[in-house]
């Protein structure tokens, strides 16, 4: 087995262990392989090992990869980086998911620019639960108002929430952030039955994220190795 296939298996095993620990089913939690800055060959190896969901942070790099891998229509491409309004068209035209939605203006542009030949663009609202200045995303209080706007845009399909909870040495604070996100996710699910995705958890905090309802963990380095 090559290194990427091996690391994918280890990542899956971590998910299984965490799911078992919190009495959840492994198949409730998806693995998003974050391939930003990594070459086509690495994605090819992950694909050959069975991986189908990939996350990209940079618009042009992501578009190049989507085009290159159009031979594999079963790949699901997730945009997970910051998005400026002048680049929305490229995301609307190429990606299956946009996970970092936090502004009405961006939502409306994506809705207008999503081609009628494609399925509606799946979107997650990015929540900045720890209110860190360095991260984008809205507060938990702002989620329902934005969700009601997105719900009226026919070319977008609201699927859930995405968050990057602050790394902290205080376990209680960390746990509170995860729990608050899970509560917000449950409220959103009650209101919008198509909502099924809580994209939360990375290598370091995967176990806690899964214990708090995460349905998708995003892992890059542990699969593809360190980035330059
Ligand atoms: C880069 C990135 C990841 C993956 O980070 P690693 O430390 O490489 O596992 C996950 N989520 C987001 C939003 C990212 O930008």
CA 34 to ligand 1: nearest atom: 4
How close is the Cα of 31 to the center of ligand 1, in Å?
12
pLDDT band at 165 (very low <50, low <70, confident <90, very high): confident
User: Given a cut of 80, is residue 87 above it in pLDDT?
Assistant: yes
Q: How far is it, in rounded angstroms, from Cα 140 to Cα 128?
A: 8
pLDDT tens sequence across 52-85:
999 999 999 999 999 999 999 999 999 999 999 9
Query: For residue 198, what pLDDT is reported?
Result: 98
pLDDT band at 171 (very low <50, low <70, confident <90, very high): confident
Q: Who's near 150: CB < 8 A, 6+ residues apart?
A: 101, 107, 123, 125, 156, 158
* Predicted TM-score of the model (pTM): 0.97
Query: In whole angstroms, how far apart are CA 75 and each of 52, 97, 163?
Result: 5, 11, 23
Q: Which of 164, 160, 133 is nearest to 34 (CA)?
A: 164
Q: Which of 202, 142, 196, 219 is nearest to 166 (CA)?
A: 202
220 lines ligand 1 (CB under 6 A): yes
Query: For residue 223, what pLDDT is reported?
Result: 98
Q: How far is it, in rounded angstroms, from Cα 146 to Cα 153?
A: 11
Would you tell me how many other CB atoms lie within 10 Å of the CB of residue 216? Answer: 25
**What is the share, in percent, of the chain residues with pLDDT greater than 70?**
98
30 lines ligand 1 (CB under 6 A): no
User: Given a cut of 80, is residue 154 above it in pLDDT?
Assistant: yes
223 lines ligand 1 (CB under 6 A): no
Q: How far is it, in rounded angstroms, from Cα 29 to Cα 74?
A: 18
pLDDT tens sequence across 109-138:
999 999 999 999 999 999 998 776 767 899
User: Given a cut of 90, is residue 143 above it in pLDDT?
Assistant: yes
Query: For residue 131, what pLDDT is reported?
Result: 74
User: Given a cut of 80, is residue 17 above it in pLDDT?
Assistant: yes
Query: For residue 168, what pLDDT is reported?
Result: 80
200 lines ligand 1 (CB under 6 A): no
164 lines ligand 1 (CB under 6 A): yes
| pLDDT higher at 171 or 46 | 46
Chain centroid to CA 126: 9
User: In what helix (H) or strand (E) does residue 163 lie, and over which residues does it extend?
Assistant: strand 156-163
Cα-atom radius of gyration of the chain, to the nearest Å? 17
How close is the Cα of 152 to the center of ligand 1, in Å?
30
**What is the share, in percent, of the chain residues with pLDDT greater than 90?**
90
Terminal CA-to-CA distance of the chain, rounded, Å?
24
Which residues does residue 198 pair with via DSSP β-bridges, in sequence order? Answer: 161
Residue nearest to atom 4 of ligand 1 (CA): 220
């Amino acid at each position: 087995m090559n290194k990427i296939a091996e690391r994918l298996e280890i990542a899956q095993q971590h998910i299984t262990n965490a799911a078992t620990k919190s009495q959840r089913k492994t198949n409730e939690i998806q693995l998003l392989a974050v391939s930003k800055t990594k070459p086509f060959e690495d994605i090819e190896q992950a694909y050959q090992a069975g991986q189908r969901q990939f996350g990209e942070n940079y618009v042009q790099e992501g578009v190049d990869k989507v085009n290159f891998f159009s031979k594999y229509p079963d790949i699901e491409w997730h945009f997970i980086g910051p998005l400026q309004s002048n680049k929305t068209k490229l995301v609307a035209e190429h990606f299956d998911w946009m996970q970092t939605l936090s502004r009405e203006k961006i939502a409306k542009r994506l809705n207008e620019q999503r081609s009628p030949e494609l399925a509606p663009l799946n979107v997650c609202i990015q929540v900045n639960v720890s209110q860190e200045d360095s991260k984008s995303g809205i507060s938990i209080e702002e989620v329902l108002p934005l969700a009601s706007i997105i719900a009226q845009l026919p070319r977008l399909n609201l699927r859930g929430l995405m968050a990057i909870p602050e790394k902290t040495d205080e376990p209680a604070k960390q746990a509170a952030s995860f729990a608050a996100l899970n509560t917000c996710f449950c409220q959103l699910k009650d209101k919008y039955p198509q909502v099924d995705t809580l994209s939360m958890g990375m290598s370091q905090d995967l176990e806690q994220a899964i214990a708090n309802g995460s349905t998708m963990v995003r892992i890059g380095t542990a699969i593809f190795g360190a980035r330059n």
